[in-house]
């Protein structure tokens, strides 16, 4: 889909699917977007919800203090008042919708349930390609291909179904795919240390490396981690390394030497030894489910 075609479809959606009325739950859409080459945007926040569907590409989504990897068939939700940002080096094929609940035309008990599920759920879901939300989103975009003969009511109805489906999409918790945010950080230095570790895991980080970057002594850095996260800096680095390794084993076909390198282990043999000690099985058996 080229940029001109995307703009045509986007404009059609913004005209035909702006106010979505339902029997119990209605929505006001702020805007629809279809961008086949979305790169970076600044750190910002909204007074409304914004749901984004990654149709292809890779990048990073930052939600408050936490960064989440983006890849094909990822759905993520920016909630009102939360600082967030999207970054991508090579561009994301991204579809998105910004919306509010039309409370004046909705049943109060349904509004409360919908908002509770969205606000209490995780902000990101992976592997949603065959879920109702993704299927409806693709169908919605497909309906704009022949907008000269398209029924506005059909497009409107599909858009309404999409926003309703987001509720179930984000309420279905998936412990294996979910990236849990760290404990609320009480110090700017703590946030900076955590982000530095996550961004530089492949460099085989040491506690001294982090302390040097933070312009702190090793003792001060250790105290910072114990006070905020109740773990040592070394344990936190090790945990993040294993989290990245497990993610790569589960969701890629990379060889174990490449996984070890990306997770910050200088040797695949050392990585295998540490992994086996923690999980009780080798990386190969873990990947095969044995």
CA distances from 52 to 61, 74, 128, 183, 199 (A): 10, 8, 12, 25, 23
Check whether 200 has a pLDDT greater than 80.
Answer: yes
| H or E segment and range at residue 76 | strand 74-78
In this structure, what is the dihedral angle of CA atoms 98, 195, 282, 265, given to the nearest 10 degrees?
Answer: 140
Give the per-residue pLDDT at 171. Answer: 65
Give the per-residue pLDDT at 174. Answer: 44
At 103, the pLDDT band (50, 70, 90 cuts) reads: very high
In this structure, what is the dihedral angle of CA atoms 242, 244, 247, 248, given to the nearest 10 degrees?
Answer: -110
The rounded mean pLDDT for the chain is 85
At 3, the pLDDT band (50, 70, 90 cuts) reads: low
Give bridge partners of residue 15 from the DSSP assignment: none
| H or E segment and range at residue 38 | strand 27-38
Listed by start position, the domains of the chain span 3-171, 188-288
Q: 77 in helix, strand or coil?
A: strand
- pLDDT tens digit string along 221-280? 888 888 888 889 999 998 888 888 988 998 888 999 999 998 888 889 999 998 888 888
- Please state, in angstroms and rounded to a whole number, the distance separating the CA atoms of residues 31 and 121: 23
Give me the residue label for tokens 């409107």: 156
For the residues 5-29, what does the mean pLDDT come to?
87
- The yes/no answer on whether domain 3-171 falls in CATH 1.10.10.60 is no
For the residues 65-94, what does the mean pLDDT come to?
92
Instruction: Answer whether 0.75 is exceeded by the pTM.
Output: no
At 54, the pLDDT band (50, 70, 90 cuts) reads: very high
At 55, the pLDDT band (50, 70, 90 cuts) reads: very high
CATH fourth-level superfamily of 188-288: Homeodomain-like (1.10.10.60)
Q: 94 in helix, strand or coil?
A: strand
Q: Is residue 75 a contact partner of residue 96, using CB atoms and an 8 Å limit?
A: no
- Please state, in angstroms and rounded to a whole number, the distance separating the CA atoms of residues 187 and 169: 33
- Please state, in angstroms and rounded to a whole number, the distance separating the CA atoms of residues 207 and 62: 24
- Please state, in angstroms and rounded to a whole number, the distance separating the CA atoms of residues 224 and 151: 59
Give the per-residue pLDDT at 25. Answer: 93
Give the per-residue pLDDT at 122. Answer: 77
Is residue 111 left, alpha or beta, with left meaning phi > 0 and alpha meaning psi from -120 to 50?
A: alpha
Give the per-residue pLDDT at 88. Answer: 94
- Please state, in angstroms and rounded to a whole number, the distance separating the CA atoms of residues 108 and 175: 31
Give the per-residue pLDDT at 72. Answer: 94
Residue 140 phi, psi (nearest 5): -60, -45
Give bridge partners of residue 124 from the DSSP assignment: 76
- Residue 86: CA count within 13 A, CB half-sphere: 28
- pLDDT tens digit string along 201-214? 888 788 999 888 88
At 176, the pLDDT band (50, 70, 90 cuts) reads: very low
Give the per-residue pLDDT at 151. Answer: 67
- pLDDT tens digit string along 107-145? 988 888 888 878 766 789 988 988 899 999 999 888 876
Give bridge partners of residue 27 from the DSSP assignment: 20, 101
Helical H runs in the chain? Answer: 3-16, 108-120, 132-143, 152-171, 188-199, 207-214, 218-229, 233-251, 256-262, 268-279, 283-288
Same fold, 3-171 and 188-288: no
Q: 91 in helix, strand or coil?
A: coil
- Residue 152: CA count within 13 A, CB half-sphere: 9
For the chain, percent of residues with pLDDT exceeding 70? 89
């Amino acid at each position: 889909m080229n940029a001109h075609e995307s703009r045509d479809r986007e404009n059609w959606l913004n005209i035909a699917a702006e106010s979505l009325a339902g029997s119990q739950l209605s929505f006001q859409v702020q805007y629809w977007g279809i961008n086949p080459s979305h790169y970076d945007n600044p750190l910002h926040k909204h007074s409304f919800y914004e749901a984004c569907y990654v149709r292809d590409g890779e990048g990073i989504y930052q939600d408050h203090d936490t960064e989440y990897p983006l890849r094909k068939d990822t759905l993520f939700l920016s909630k009102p008042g939360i600082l967030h940002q999207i970054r991508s080096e090579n561009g994301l094929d991204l579809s998105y919708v910004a919306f509010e609940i039309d409370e004046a035309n909705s049943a109060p008990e349904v509004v409360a349930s919908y908002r509770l599920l969205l606000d209490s759920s995780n902000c990101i879901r992976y592997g949603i390609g065959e879920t109702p939300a993704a299927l409806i989103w693709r169908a919605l975009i497909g309906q704009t291909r022949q907008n000269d003969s398209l029924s506005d009511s059909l497009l409107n109805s599909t858009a309404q179904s999409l926003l309703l489906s987001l509720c179930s999409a984000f309420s279905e918790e998936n412990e294996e795919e979910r990236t849990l945010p760290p404990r609320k950080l009480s110090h700017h230095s703590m946030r900076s240390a955590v982000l530095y570790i996550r961004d530089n895991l492949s460099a085989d980080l040491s506690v001294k490396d982090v302390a040097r970057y933070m312009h702190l002594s090793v003792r001060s850095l250790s105290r910072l981690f114990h006070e905020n996260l109740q773990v040592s800096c070394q344990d936190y680095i090790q945990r993040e390394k294993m989290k990245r390794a497990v993610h790569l084993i589960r969701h890629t076909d990379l060889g174990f030497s490449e996984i070890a390198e990306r997770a910050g282990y200088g040797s695949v043999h050392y990585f295998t030894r540490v992994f086996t000690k923690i999980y009780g099985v080798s990386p190969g058996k873990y990947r095969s489910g044995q």
